[in-house]
Structure 1
Amino acid sequence: MRIQKECLYCGKELMGRTDKKYCDLHCKSAYQYQKTKERPERFYNKVDNQLRLNRKLLKAYNKAGTSIVRAQVLLDLGFDPRFFTHYWKNKKSDIYLFVYEFGYLKKTENGKEKYIMVTWQDYMG
């Protein structure tokens, strides 16, 4: 008695073991990939992906260790300021949000929102 007659991915008739599900490794891999893509993205993956993107953007726009960029530039590239790993409060009570070693502080100057970007320093610990 055969339980499965056809490959789950391509539909070809299966030969061999009675519990076989795929005709070859390519079909098995393709089927698993297809199933993974159909599942909704897990919350952890969403957070991790956003943190990676935020870090990449902060690193790209902060080559000198300290810089200022208009907020809209980063936001247009997918930056989401709600995702950060930790914060640091300076002596003026400004709170810098950090994504790993790259930090930012939102300021409004002349009606334009900007991010002051810094790189983590030993004295911040």
Structure 2
Amino acid sequence: MTNFKTCPVCDATVKGRSDKKYCSKKCKSIDQYEQRQKTEGFYIKVDRQLKINRKVLKRFNKSGYTVIRKNELLNEGFNPKFFTHYWKNKKGEVYLFVYEFGFLSKMDKGKEKYILVIWQDYMA
């Protein structure tokens, strides 16, 4: 009794070696292209959100140090889950950075706010 394998792309019967996965070079190429598109799509979404975050932080932090309500940034498309690196100050507060623009979440008088900063040499 032999088990017939089917091609994952077109469901045709795969003939040949026992470890062969695709029925043709065309199907192999199609599958590899689709896998690459899925992976690249994820990176494109992350990059797009990082660019939005940087643009929003840059617009609201013209002086180098700003305090702003969290909702103002969120309404502009800012997503705090996307950042490139972080810096921890001597008080133990962790600033999240999107390239050179950083933010720190704080509660002030019952309202959620962000402290916006620009990367400085001493933070390295």
Q: Same fold (TM over 0.5)?
A: yes
Q: Distance in 2 between matches of 1:77 and 1:61?
A: 10
Q: How many residues align?
A: 87
Distance 2:108 2:119 in 1: 24
- State whether structure 2 residue 121 is matched by structure 1 residue 122: yes
Matched, 1:62 2:61: yes
Query: Hey, what's the Cα distance between the residues in 1 that align with 2:107 and 2:43?
Result: 32
1:75-86 map, 5 Å: 75-86=74-85
The answer for the alignment partner of 1:14 in structure 2 is none
Q: Alignment RMSD, CA only? A: 1.4
Once the two structures are aligned, what percentage of the paired residues are identical?
Answer: 62
> 1 CA distance for matches of 2:123 and 2:79?
23
In 2: Cα distance, 1:54 partner to 1:71 partner: 13
Q: Distance in 2 between matches of 1:77 and 1:121?
A: 25
Deviations 1:79-125 (A, max 9, x none): 00000000000000000000000000000111110000000000000
Partner of 2:51: 52
Consecutive unaligned residues of structure 2, counting only runs of 5 or more, are 1-36
Give the aligned partner of residue 103 of structure 1: 102
Superimposed CA distance per residue, residues 44-102 of structure 1 (whole angstroms, 9 cap, x where no aligned partner): 11000000000000000000000011000000111000000000000000000000000
Residue 15 of structure 1 is matched in structure 2 by none
Structure 1 runs (4+) greater than 4 angstroms displaced? none
- SS of the residue aligned with 1:123? helix
Q: TM-score, normalised by structure 1?
A: 0.67
Aligned to 2:17: none
